[in-house]
Chain A
Amino acid sequence: MSASNCLRCLVRPSAVTLAPRQILQAGAGAAGAGAAGATRTFTATASPNNQMSANRPQKLRFRKVKKKGITPQGKPPLPGERKAYRKKIVLSNNNALPVAGLETLRPNDLSKQKNVGTVMALPEDVVDALRATEAFKPTQCWGIFRQPSVLVRQETVDLIKKMDGAAADGKTLRLVVEGNRISGKSLMLLQAMTHAFMNDWVVLHIPEAQELTTACTEYSPLENSPLWSQPVYTLKLLQAFKKANEKVLSRMNTVYSHADLPQIIPINSPLIQLINSAKEADGAWAVFQALWRELNAENAGRPSILFTLDGLAHIMKMSDYRNPAFELIHSHDLALVKVFTDCLSGAHKMPNGGAVLAATTRGNSPRSASMELAIAQREAEAAKEEVIPQRDPYGKKYDDRVEAVMKSVEVLRLKGVSKAEARGLLEYWAASGALKKRVDEELVSEKWTLSGNGVVGEMERATLLTMKG
Chain B
Amino acid sequence: MMASLRHSITNALRSSRQACNKPAQWQSLEQQFGALRIGSRSLSTFSNTEPNPNDDSPIVAAPPVSVDHFKLHPYARAVPVSPSYFTRTPRFYDNYLALEKLMEQYEELPVIPATAVERVAWKTLDDIRQELGEQVKASEFARCMVLVKRLNSIHPDLKPKQVKDVLDGFKRSVQPFTNTAKPIPIDQFGRACGVGRRKASSARAFVVEGTGEVLVNGKTLAEYFGRVHDRESAVWALRATNRIDKYNVWIKVEGGGTTGQAEAITLAIAKGLLAHEPALKPALRRAGCITRDPRKVERKKHGHVKARKMPTWVKR
B270 interfacial by beta-carbon distance below 8 Å: no
A462 interfacial by beta-carbon distance below 8 Å: yes
Write out, one digit per residue, whether chain A residues 108-132 have a CB within 8 A of any chain B CB (1) or not (0): 0000000000000000000000000
Quote the shortest CB–CB distance from A174 to chain B (angstroms).
Answer: 29
* Contacts of A414-462 to chain B: CB distance below 8 A: 416, 441-442, 445-446, 448-453, 455, 458, 461-462
Specify the chain A residue showing the minimal Cβ separation from B221. Answer: A452
User: What is the size, in residues, of chain A's interface with B at 8 Å between Cβ atoms?
Assistant: 17
Task: Tell me whether A466 and B228 are in contact (CB under 8 A).
Answer: yes
Task: Tell me whether B214 and A461 are in contact (CB under 8 A).
Answer: no
Quote the shortest CB–CB distance from B250 to chain A (angstroms).
Answer: 13
Point out the residues of chain A lying under 8 angstroms from B211, CB to CB.
Answer: 445
Quote the shortest CB–CB distance from B232 to chain A (angstroms).
Answer: 6
Task: Tell me whether A441 and B245 are in contact (CB under 8 A).
Answer: yes
Q: Which of A442, A445, A446, A455 contacts B222 (CB 8 A)?
A: A455
Write out, one digit per residue, whether chain B residues 210-241 have a CB within 8 A of any chain A CB (1) or not (0): 01111000001111000011011001000100
Point out the residues of chain B lying under 8 angstroms from A461, CB to CB.
Answer: 228
Q: A461-B228, A462-B231 are in contact. Are A450 and B221 (CB under 8 A)?
A: yes
Give bound CA distance, A349 to B232, whole Å: 50
Task: Tell me whether B228 and A450 are in contact (CB under 8 A).
Answer: yes
Point out the residues of chain A lying under 8 angstroms from B242, CB to CB.
Answer: 442
Specify the chain A residue showing the minimal Cβ separation from B248. Answer: A449
Task: Tell me whether A458 and B244 are in contact (CB under 8 A).
Answer: no
Specify the chain A residue showing the minimal Cβ separation from B222. Answer: A452
A199 interfacial by beta-carbon distance below 8 Å: no
Give bound CA distance, A314 to B293, whole Å: 47
Give bound CA distance, A450 to B214, whole Å: 9
Task: Tell me whether B239 and A451 are in contact (CB under 8 A).
Answer: no
Task: Tell me whether B212 and A452 are in contact (CB under 8 A).
Answer: no
Write out, one digit per residue, whether chain B residues 147-168 have a CB within 8 A of any chain A CB (1) or not (0): 0000000000000000000000
Task: Tell me whether B220 and A452 are in contact (CB under 8 A).
Answer: yes
Point out the residues of chain A lying under 8 angstroms from B235, CB to CB.
Answer: 449-450
Task: Tell me whether B223 and A452 are in contact (CB under 8 A).
Answer: yes
A95 interfacial by beta-carbon distance below 8 Å: no
Q: Which of B212, B221, B223, B232 contacts A180 (CB 8 A)?
A: B223
Task: Report which residue of B211, B222, B228 has the largest number of chain A beta carbons within 10 angstroms of its beta carbon.
Answer: B222
Point out the residues of chain A lying under 8 angstroms from B245, CB to CB.
Answer: 441-442, 445-446, 449
Point out the residues of chain A lying under 8 angstroms from B229, CB to CB.
Answer: 466
Specify the chain B residue showing the minimal Cβ separation from A462. Answer: B228
Q: A445-B245, A449-B244, A466-B228 are in contact. Are A458 and B212 (CB under 8 A)?
A: no
Task: Tell me whether B223 and A442 are in contact (CB under 8 A).
Answer: no
Task: Tell me whether A449 and B223 are in contact (CB under 8 A).
Answer: no
Point out the residues of chain B lying under 8 angstroms from A441, CB to CB.
Answer: 245
Give bound CA distance, A289 to B196, whole Å: 64
Point out the residues of chain B lying under 8 angstroms from A451, CB to CB.
Answer: 221-222
Specify the chain B residue showing the minimal Cβ separation from A182. Answer: B222
Task: Tell me whether B228 and A453 are in contact (CB under 8 A).
Answer: no
Task: Report which residue of B214, B229, B244 has the largest number of chain A beta carbons within 10 angstroms of its beta carbon.
Answer: B244
Give bound CA distance, A401 to B242, whole Å: 53
Q: A450-B221, A452-B222, A452-B223 are in contact. Are A445 and B244 (CB under 8 A)?
A: yes
Quote the shortest CB–CB distance from A183 to chain B (angstroms).
Answer: 10
Which A residues have a C-beta under 8 Å from some C-beta of B?
180, 416, 441-442, 445-446, 448-453, 455, 458, 461-462, 466
Q: Can you show 15 pairs from A to B with CB atoms below 8 A apart?
A: A180-B223, A441-B245, A442-B244, A445-B211, A445-B212, A446-B245, A449-B212, A449-B213, A449-B245, A450-B222, A450-B235, A452-B221, A452-B222, A462-B228, A466-B229
Which B residues have a C-beta under 8 Å from some C-beta of A?
211-214, 220-223, 228-229, 231-232, 235, 239, 242, 244-245
With A442-B244, A446-B245, A450-B228 known, 16 other A-B pairs at CB within 8 A are A442-B245, A445-B212, A445-B244, A445-B245, A449-B213, A449-B245, A450-B222, A450-B235, A452-B220, A452-B222, A452-B223, A453-B222, A455-B222, A462-B231, A462-B232, A466-B228
Question: Which 6 A-B pairs give the minimum distances between C-beta atoms?
Answer: A452-B222, A445-B245, A452-B220, A458-B222, A445-B212, A449-B212
